[in-house]
Amino acid sequence: MDPATQSQRPLIIGSRASKLAQIQAEIVENVLKEAHPSQPFEIKLMTSEGDRNQTQALYLLGGKALWTKDLEAELLNGSIDLIVHCLKDVPTSLPEGCEMSAILEREDPRDTLVVKQGLSYTSFEEMPAGSVIGTSSVRRVAQLRKSFPHLAFQDVRGNLNTRLAKLDAEDGPYTALVLAGAGLERLGFKNRITSYISPPVLYPAVGQAALAVETRIGDSKVTEIVSVLTHWQTQWQCLAERACLRVLEGGCSVPVGVETTLTGNKDSGVSPRLKITGTVTSLDGLTHVAATIEEDINSIEDAEAVGRRLAEELKASGADAILEDIKKDRAAKQQTTTSPLATTTPSQ
């Protein structure tokens, strides 16, 4: 029997309350409704700690759990049955009792340049020294400083509409923002994309552009229902990336970028081939470590093992020293609650 026919109780999909999060929850809901037409679903919107704190830089707020822990508390107490996440916002270690049960097909993972309305720049190279680029991501700042030391970087918080309004404000400080292309497209803002920023200039975040579904361990009914969402190629790639980040990060936000491809079909009799590049960049952009592994794999476990080995190669090549410096910088900034991005000036 289809597990969705066993009960007519609506399954509650938990989501953050931002417009982008709502759209992403609706994407998942629509797929599930089509696959399980007799099973009702409802979306429950909630705010996270990250939504409530719009003043302090993300770098200083103590890791990605600020986006997920409130939702996970509702999942564990039974108020909701599953959570829809942007995978890049999900900590690599989940709370006891929770598991990642589905990863959807990934969209274009690249970041984009979004220039202030009325300005004619089409690339970073065209911008004059001191031009202010808005982003809350230390990964983006670190990598872009490496290639564009003449630019300044400033923290920008808020939902996408708010950030675009800050960008376009006549008296605003920003020349441009760096934003994930997938989020812009989901919200219908593809027309605001000035250009895509591809590796090696800017490597995407781990899990970027993929949606994921988190459920309770042991809830076999929900696990079976959401399994229809999984795109195995994206799942294998993203779990390799997350295994790499898990070794590197120690639970904190770090400037790790990745680029991953998977070719072949696991059902063809020929092993799929995984290629994954990882990067770690110092906050000043002056030190950059990269490594690549390419090999045949046959399972999720193989993919995760490749990710872990990539992390060890990065650490052996100097990433350990970069990450230690970042921990010290974060601790010092937390003492003064000063954003490392808000006070940035161009390097000389």
- Rounded CA-CA distance 107/231 in Å is 11
Q: What is the DSSP string of 82-115?
A: EEEEEGGGS-SSPPTTEEEEEEPPP----EEEEE
Active site residue 89: yes
Give 193: exposed, middle or buried? Use CB within 10 Å, 0-12, 13-18, 19+.
Answer: middle
Catalytic residue among 81, 89, 111, 219: 89
What are the φ and ψ backbone dihedral angles of 16, each rounded to 5 degrees? -60, 160
Task: Identify the three-state secondary structure at position 4.
Answer: helix
In 3D space, the residue among 226, 2, 271, 20 whose CA is nearest the CA of residue 103 turns out to be 226
In 3D space, the residue among 216, 232, 276 whose CA is nearest the CA of residue 94 turns out to be 216
CA distances 124 to 24, 99, 140, 242, Å, are 30, 40, 13, 30
In 3D space, the residue among 83, 76, 121 whose CA is nearest the CA of residue 102 turns out to be 83
Kind plus residue range of the DSSP H or E element containing 34: helix 19-35
- Rounded CA-CA distance 248/267 in Å is 32
- Rounded CA-CA distance 173/156 in Å is 10
Residue 321 corresponds to which tokens in the numbers above? 């020293």
- Rounded CA-CA distance 73/18 in Å is 19
CA distances 273 to 45, 233, 270, Å, are 39, 11, 9
Catalytic residues: 89
